[in-house]
Every structure is written in C-alpha cells, then in structure tokens.
Chain A
C-alpha cells in the first residue's frame, strides 16, 4: 500500500508538473509575441517554439528526477533500515530479506491505518511493541501479519516510514523547484533573437536518442537482473552440481540437487522432435509455394499457414494437454484397450506430445523464412539449369537448394531458438519429471517449465531453490542469443552473396 500511495502521489506530482508546463507554454509564447508588438516576422523562430522551449525545460528535467528518485529511494531506504535489524531477530531458517518484507508490511499497515483514520499520525509514530499488540491493531483494519511484531522490527518499520516520508517530501520539493527554475530560465532567456527552434530540436533529438537506447537498457536490465541473482545462487549452491550434476530434485528444506543437465536434455529432446516435424513440412511447403504454386494457390495458402504462427502459445498448450496427449495415450497406452494394445504411455504429458505440437507451431517459421530465401536465389541460376535440360525438381535439388542452404540453416537455427525458449506448450504438455531418458513417451521437463514452477507461488529470494530459476534463465538467454546471433550472421552473409 505504501508504494501504491507513493506512486499515487508521484502521479499527482507529474500531473502538476504537466500543468505547469502547459502554463509555461502559454505564458512564454505570449511574452514573445508581445515583445515584438505582435509582428512575429521579427522573431527568430515561430512563436510556438518559444513556448515549447519553456514547456520542455519545465517538464523534462523534473519528470526525470521523479523517475530516478522512485528507482533509487527504495534501495537507499532499505540499506539504511537493514542496519537497524539486529542479527538475533533473524530467526533460524529465515533471512534478512524476509524480515525486511515484514518491516515493509508493518510500515504499510501503519500507513493505511493512518489513512483510514484508525490511528492518528502521532499514535502511529509512537507505538511501542511491548505495550500494544500491533498485530491485533493492524488485523482490525485488514492488514494480516504472519507473526507478532517484535521490537526491533517495529523500530525498523518506524524508521522506514519516516525515511520514506522524508524522501517523498524531498522528491516533491526537488521536482517542483526544478520545474520552477526551468520555467524562470526559459522565461528570462526568451527574446526575439533567441534561437528557440534550434534549442527545441536539440532537446527533441536528445529524447529520441533516449528512446532508442531504451532497447539497450532493456538488454542490460535483463542481463544484470539475472546475473546478480545467479551470482547469489552460486554463492549458495555449488556450480559443479549445477552444470555437471545428474539430477534435479529441489527440496524446499534445503540440500537439493539442482542440476541443469536433465532439464537441458528434456529441452533439447523436445526441440529435436519439434524440428523433425517442422523442418521437412516447412521446407517442402516453402519449396512448393515458391517454385510450383500458382499465384492464386500462393495467395491463399501462405496466409493460412501463417495463421499457425499468430495463434497464442497457450492455445497450443491446451491443444497438447487436452487433445494430442489423450490421442497419443489412446494409441500407445491403455494396454488392451488402446489401438496398439500396448501400455507404453501412462499420462497425456510426454516429450512426444509437446514435440509434435511445437512442431506444428514452428511450421510457418521455417516455411516463411525458407520461402524468402528461396525467392532470393537469382532466376539466372534456374534458367541456366533449365537450359541444360534439367527438370524442375532436379533444378531445385541440385541448384536452388544448395544455393539457399546457408539461409535455410539460418532459418532452422531461428526455429530451434524459438523451440528452446517456448514455454506454454511445455508447461502444459511436457510434464514435470526431470529425467534423462531416451523414451519419447515419458514425461520430461524443460528449462522454461522449471523457471515457471520455481518462480510462481510463494518465493523466497534467499533460497537456492528460487534463485536457481535465474541461473536457468541466464542459461536460456545465452543459449537462445547465441543461436540467434549465429543464425542472423549466416542469413546476412548469405544475402550479401547475391546482392
């Protein structure tokens, strides 16, 4: 709640600043026009640019300060408050992180008690853990706490509240001061000779650059967030077991086997089956569409195939779990009642289930990319082959495909990276048992499935069983990134060959 109120007040502040910017725009524009007695030809720029200049100086720096402040303040407050928590409060099997979240909950509870009028500001600030039952008081207003509030925790919570409140006030003052200073500066600089357009355009360009670098920032954020938690994980867990161990058996009481190898095996096995389905079908479909099909067939078959790529993966997941899985069980399972009369498959989730469905999903990826690549092979190569008397299929097999091979390899690698990173189909269709086995009718589990199961529900960011998800995520990221870079490199190199 505290952060909610916090971001709520930040929104109000942002709206005030935007209002100020609009006011600044109008005032500055008017002042400029008045300064030349309405003869706007004597201005360097169009009148609106003077207004934009003021609005930009008011809004941009102050809004940025708010954004940075909101990002940095929680960390600073947390670091200051953690020092207040003595070690004996951190109970056996618990961690500083858990106590910190208690602190935060108490602080938020007190805040909402004040907001609801159940306590006065003074009462909330002068609570004493020994004298009053804070837990019961907070429970009355709907804030449930897991345990009784200990003295140091309450003290830390009070400290947390005051620091957060001070920080929030300081943020408001700084942002408003910056906005007003910006306005004063813009207003004082405004005269007929001021090069307002150039200044505004330079400002806009800076904003454009900022937007473009957000993509880099996202990547940095992805890598850093996973790297930090992965390092935490390797502090708690032996890296040899993670990379070289043989079993995956998380145990929330500690001492778990957390090895990536069984998960990697499941991931690769499913991906290989998926590619075994998607590559032949996709490739032949692409060859037929680009070499044989009439334009009418092409114009309806290609978009229809591409619908398969637009269907959300949750749909494929459900299809695997409820349709393909039971169908496979009907064939390979149920003993005497099954179609084959064998009992090889017991549940609907299996490597084959997930692999087949993922293969269907990947058909359009392979076919669209291969289609583009085959079309890029110059017609002169085909004409030469026809001229020598080759049939159409001979030309395709012996001239077009060898020429397009690097690009097709690139397409297959892209499809493989897609298969490795696919989540919903394997979460629903592949099962949850980690094992290294060659039987495609058994349930196995994958990297993405384990990430989902380790990070959903109650997570404790101090236990290796939760943190392992970040190490898995990092591995997944590196794996798919490597495949993508390789594929793009191959495709690009190949394209240049014929340009």
Chain B
C-alpha cells in the first residue's frame, strides 16, 4: 500500500492565492460594469437635461383679452382702405391693448396702483404687431370687439415656469413686483396661463428683446432645403463613385489613391469643409452668403465619404453568383450592375444615405463659416429659388445662435430646438433601422 500524498489543503476551501486571484477577477469585471454604467448614466443625464430644460419651450404664457378695435384709432377716415390702415404703426395699437387690459382689471376687480401702460408691459413687445397683423388681414373687423390671445413678456413667462422669481427680479428693469401681483391675479381669474406653443415649431426667429416670440420654423425650412441639395447631389455622385470603385476599378495605384482619399476625407474635421466652402463657393464663385444652397454643397462634400463607404458595403454584400448569372445569359457588365446588383443593394444604399443625411442635419461648424448665423432668420422663403438662394438659418445654427444670446429666456428655446432636432434625427435613424430590418437579405 502506498501512502496517500498529504494534501496541502481542502479542494473545497480556497487558499489565499486563489482568493486573491478570484477577487481580482471580480474587481476587473466590476470595472467593466462601472464603465458601462458611467457611459449609460451620462446618456441618461444628457437626455434628462435636454427634456427637462427644453420642454418649457413648447408651452408659452398667453393672456386672453377682449380688445375693442376702435375705428377712430385704426381707420380715421372710415373708408376701410387697406393702404390707409397700414399707415397706423404698432404704436397706434398699443393704447387699444392697455385700454383693454385696464378694462379687464376693472372687470375682475383687481386692485393695483399700476398705470395702464405699465400694466400693458406684461405683454410681449410682439403683441401689438400680432394685433396689427390680424387687423390688416381682416380689415372688416374694425369697430368690433374681439377676444385675442396675446403673448406675454418673457419675464412673465419665466415667472410661470419658475425661471423668474420675485427674488431674482430685484434689479430687473423689465418687470417689477407689482406687475407680478397683477399676473397672479390674472392667473387666479383664469385669463392668463400656459398653453401649447405651436409658434415655436412653425414660427420664425425673433430679435433679442422678444425671446417669447422666437421659433424654429424658418430654420427648419432652411435645413430642409439643405437636405434637398445634399440628397440631390450626394446620393447620385456617391452611388456612381461606389459602383465604379466596387465593380469596375482595376487594382492599381490610382484606385488606391482614390480609396485612401475617401477614407481620409471621412475623418477630416467638419470645420475644414466650412473653410473650403467659404473659400470656393463664397469667395471664389460668389454664391450668396448664408444661402442654404451653399450649406447644402458643403454638407454634400462632407456626407459623400459616408455614403460611399456604406454603398460599397452593400454592393459588396450582393453575392457574385448574381453577377455571374446575369453575365451568363448575355448581359453586359454594365447591365448586370444596373439591372441586377444595384436593385438588390438599394435598401442598404438607402439606409446608408438616411444615416448620412441625419449626420449632415446635425452638423453646425461648417455652417458658422458660411454665415448661417448672426442674423435673424425672419422670412420664410416663398419659392424654391429663394429657398435655395436667400439667406436662411438651419436648425443647429439657430440653436447655436440662441445659445449665444444674453437673455436666459433664449436658453430654453435652444434646449427646445434640440428636442426638435433630436426628434428629426431619431425619426430618420428609426426609418433606417426599419428599412434594414424589412429589406435586409441574408444570402
């Protein structure tokens, strides 16, 4: 009988070294979990910030007020001649509104020592223009009394949203505590309150003094025209380039140069494309500054590499047997590509194009250099030509513009603009994913 070797310890009990190794194993794993959690936490914080700060922009404070459109103020001659009515500026409308507010205050029975003009200061500077536009559109309403919903001052709006408090207005020239008392009384009466703000989505940008009237609509149109240019140029050129490189190009140094070039272009900082756009399209070709056409051209150059790379991948995924079969029944090389390979690769190309467009839609830096910031984009274009050629802003440029302004009321607009931008991006990416799911073929 041989003697059993004496065990150094039980298999069931870990010795110190094993313990240490196992501990370091679980520590290592924990680092990984921590890293992912930090990443996801950042995403959550970012999204939470965007939504919590931006949601306010979709609600705006309005004051409902019956206004008497006095004929002797608005149309002195009483002949309802539009040209004569137009001569009354917004200053002519302001007294009507303060009178209406005074009447309202008396009717509800609010006690205040404010003068009617100071009362009217709780309204937006845009409100008189709002009223004037309504009258010019419907001159027949002069002489009647109608109920209007007026925008209030951004300070009043901030007060309802909690951005402005009685403590924070101590040094604010735009509003005082007594006006806030009036606001409180009007809220209690029910005539002043927050409502959904469609103007933020469809309206145009407004000047520094009227953050409550600023909207994204015109910038959205600008972005739309830019995307139109990108789609019209980048898709055909990108697809043509990919077809050549993937199907026809001989393997030689020229093709190598083109390929290296494309992969490097994809990594060139976007601002460099802005410099190119400024130097070539604006300085050299004298295309108009700030025009969506120029923005679209710059973004086209920027998006091309993305589209080429994804198109080549989807062309590559079409199996060679398809090409061989086409060639076998007598098609030329060109016919096999255009009649068979391209239609089969189309869903992949489309997906790549949508993702490229989404990238281009969110790009800001090159737009700064071609002058799509620094002015108030107030007029929506009236035709395709003016949509392409007349100065406009774009969604990300508009957000940047608001972020640069001094009044914090614009920050809420900027966050709200981001929500709109992200909605577009999410929609586009979702369409891309759906297309891929729906049409993706495994050979």
Residues from chain B with a CB closer than 8 A to the CB of A353 are none
Residues from chain B with a CB closer than 8 A to the CB of A215 are 241, 258, 261-262, 265, 304-305, 308
**Given A3-B287, A319-B49, A424-B364, is A287 in contact with B32 using a C-beta cutoff of 8 Å?**
yes
B22, B38, B241, B301: the one contacting A208 at CB < 8 Å is B241
A291, A305, A421, A456: the one contacting B272 at CB < 8 Å is A421
Give chain B nearest CB distance to A193 CB in angstroms.
Answer: 18
**Given A221-B276, A392-B25, is A314 in contact with B399 using a C-beta cutoff of 8 Å?**
yes
Q: How far is the CA of A473 from the CA of B365 in the complex (A)?
A: 13
Give chain A nearest CB distance to B36 CB in angstroms.
Answer: 5
Q: A204–B334 contact, CB under 8 A?
A: yes
Q: B25–A393 contact, CB under 8 A?
A: yes
A378 in the interface (beta carbon within 8 A): no
> Across the A-B interface, how many residue pairs have beta carbons closer than 8 Å?
261
Give chain B nearest CB distance to A489 CB in angstroms.
Answer: 10
A244 in the interface (beta carbon within 8 A): no
B267, B280, B365, B414: the one contacting A318 at CB < 8 Å is B414
Q: B271–A473 contact, CB under 8 A?
A: yes
Q: How far is the CA of A116 from the CA of B113 in the complex (A)?
A: 55
Q: Mark B374-395, 1 if CB is under 8 A from A, else 0.
A: 1000000000010001000000
- For chain B, residues 374 to 423, give those with C-beta under 8 angstroms from any C-beta of chain A: 374, 385, 389, 396, 399-400, 403, 411, 414-415, 418, 421-422
B12 in the interface (beta carbon within 8 A): no
Residues from chain A with a CB closer than 8 A to the CB of B280 are 221, 225
Give chain A nearest CB distance to B214 CB in angstroms.
Answer: 16
- For chain A, residues 259 to 288, give those with C-beta under 8 angstroms from any C-beta of chain B: 280-285, 287-288
Residues from chain A with a CB closer than 8 A to the CB of B411 are 322
A381 in the interface (beta carbon within 8 A): no
Q: A8–B385 contact, CB under 8 A?
A: yes
Q: B396–A314 contact, CB under 8 A?
A: yes
- For chain A, residues 272 to 325, give those with C-beta under 8 angstroms from any C-beta of chain B: 280-285, 287-289, 291-292, 301, 304-305, 307-308, 310-315, 317-319, 321-323
A74, A414, A456: the one contacting B284 at CB < 8 Å is A74
- For chain A, residues 338 to 390, give those with C-beta under 8 angstroms from any C-beta of chain B: 360, 363-364, 367
A122 in the interface (beta carbon within 8 A): no
Give chain B nearest CB distance to A67 CB in angstroms.
Answer: 11
B285 in the interface (beta carbon within 8 A): yes
Residues from chain B with a CB closer than 8 A to the CB of A210 are 240
Residue among A393, A418, A480 with max Cβ neighbours from chain B (10 Å): A393
- Chain B residue nearest to A312 (CB atoms) is B362
Q: A218–B385 contact, CB under 8 A?
A: no
Give chain B nearest CB distance to A8 CB in angstroms.
Answer: 7
Q: B374–A456 contact, CB under 8 A?
A: yes
Q: B43–A476 contact, CB under 8 A?
A: no
A112 in the interface (beta carbon within 8 A): no
A76 in the interface (beta carbon within 8 A): no
- Chain A residue nearest to B385 (CB atoms) is A8
- For chain B, residues 239 to 262, give those with C-beta under 8 angstroms from any C-beta of chain A: 240-241, 243-245, 248-249, 257-258, 261-262
Give chain A nearest CB distance to B424 CB in angstroms.
Answer: 10
A211, A283, A428: the one contacting B244 at CB < 8 Å is A211
Give chain A nearest CB distance to B163 CB in angstroms.
Answer: 13
Range, interface on chain B:
35 or more
A445 in the interface (beta carbon within 8 A): no
Q: How far is the CA of A306 from the CA of B369 in the complex (A)?
A: 29
- For chain A, residues 1 to 27, give those with C-beta under 8 angstroms from any C-beta of chain B: 3-4, 7-8
**Given A214-B241, A284-B32, A452-B368, is A424 in contact with B400 using a C-beta cutoff of 8 Å?**
yes
Give chain A nearest CB distance to B302 CB in angstroms.
Answer: 9
- Chain A residue nearest to B245 (CB atoms) is A212
Q: How far is the CA of A225 from the CA of B422 in the complex (A)?
A: 34
Q: Mark B416-443, 1 if CB is under 8 A from A, else 0.
A: 0010011001000100000000000000
B34 in the interface (beta carbon within 8 A): yes
B270 in the interface (beta carbon within 8 A): yes
Q: How far is the CA of A481 from the CA of B333 in the complex (A)?
A: 36
Q: How far is the CA of A212 from the CA of B238 in the complex (A)?
A: 8
Q: Mark A390-432, 1 if CB is under 8 A from B, else 0.
A: 0111101100000000000000001001101111100110000
B32, B258, B283: the one contacting A285 at CB < 8 Å is B32
- For chain B, residues 254 to 296, give those with C-beta under 8 angstroms from any C-beta of chain A: 257-258, 261-265, 267-276, 278-280, 283-288
24 contacts between A and B (CB under 8 A): A3-B285, A7-B287, A74-B284, A208-B244, A211-B241, A215-B258, A215-B304, A216-B261, A219-B261, A225-B279, A225-B280, A284-B32, A284-B36, A288-B32, A307-B43, A312-B421, A312-B425, A313-B363, A315-B422, A319-B50, A322-B411, A397-B28, A451-B369, A473-B275
